[in-house]
C-alpha cells in the first residue's frame, strides 16, 4: 500500500518521535478504495501533548492489519523502558487492542477515547428515548 509505505518512510525519518511518550491512542483506519490485501491499518498516536495541553496529537506509527497481534507485536518491538513510561492507552471498544495493551503494558491504564464514549452515550440515550416513546405513544407513535 503506497500510502502506508510513504507514511512509514516519513515517520522513520524522525528518530525522536518516541521521545517523551506517556499517553498513546490506538484506532483502526479502513482503506475503502483498495481492492487487494488487508484494508485495515492500526494507527498509533502520541496523545501526551493533548493531555499536557502543549499541542496536538502526533502520529507514531501505522501497522498493517487490525488485530490484537498487530498491536501487541508493535508494542513488543518498543524498548522496555519506553513501555514502562506509558501511563495511559486510549482506544475504541475493540477488545483486541485492550488485551494487547493489558498484556504488553500491564501498569498502563486502558481507557476508551472520548469519541467512542460520546457515541456509546448517544446510542444509549437514543435507545432509552425509543423505549419511552414506545411505552407512551405505542408502536406508530400515537397514543
Among the listed residues 8, 9, 17, the one whose alpha carbon sits nearest the alpha carbon of residue 82? 17
The Cα–Cα gap between 70 and 13 comes to 22
Mutual orientation of helices 68-76 and 95-104 as an angle, nearest 10°? 20
The Cα–Cα gap between 97 and 75 comes to 11
pTM for this prediction: 0.75
Q: What is the pLDDT of residue 52?
A: 94
The stretches in the chain having pLDDT less than 70 are 1, 3-4, 7-8, 11-13, 32-38, 141-143
Q: What is the pLDDT of residue 111?
A: 92
Q: What is the pLDDT of residue 20?
A: 93
Please provide the CATH number assigned to the domain covering 2-112: 3.30.420
Sheet holding 58-64, edge to edge: 58-64, 40-46, 23-30, 88-91, 109-112
Q: What is the pLDDT of residue 30?
A: 81
Q: What is the pLDDT of residue 97?
A: 93
Q: What is the pLDDT of residue 5?
A: 72
Q: What is the pLDDT of residue 137?
A: 86
Residues 49-88: tens digit of each pLDDT: 999 999 999 889 888 888 899 999 999 999 999 999 999 9
143: CB partners within 8 A, 6+ apart: 136, 137
Q: What is the pLDDT of residue 50?
A: 92
Amino acid at each position: 500500500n503506497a500510502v502506508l509505505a510513504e507514511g512509514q518512510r516519513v515517520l522513520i525519518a524522525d528518530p525522536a518521535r518516541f521521545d517523551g511518550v506517556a499517553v498513546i491512542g490506538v484506532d483502526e483506519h479502513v482503506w475503502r478504495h483498495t481492492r487487494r490485501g488487508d484494508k485495515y491499518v492500526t494507527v498509533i498516536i502520541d496523545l501526551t501533548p493533548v493531555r499536557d495541553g502543549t499541542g496536538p496529537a502526533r502520529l507514531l506509527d501505522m501497522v498493517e492489519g487490525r488485530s490484537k497481534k498487530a498491536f501487541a507485536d508493535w508494542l513488543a518491538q518498543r524498548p522496555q523502558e519506553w513501555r514502562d513510561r506509558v501511563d495511559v492507552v486510549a482506544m475504541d471498544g475493540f477488545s483486541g487492542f485492550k488485551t494487547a495493551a493489558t498484556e504488553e503494558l500491564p501498569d498502563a491504564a486502558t481507557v476508551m477515547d472520548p469519541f467512542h464514549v460520546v457515541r456509546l452515550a448517544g446510542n444509549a440515550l437514543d435507545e432509552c428515548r425509543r423505549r419511552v416513546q414506545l411505552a407512551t405513544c405505542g408502536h406508530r407513535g400515537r397514543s
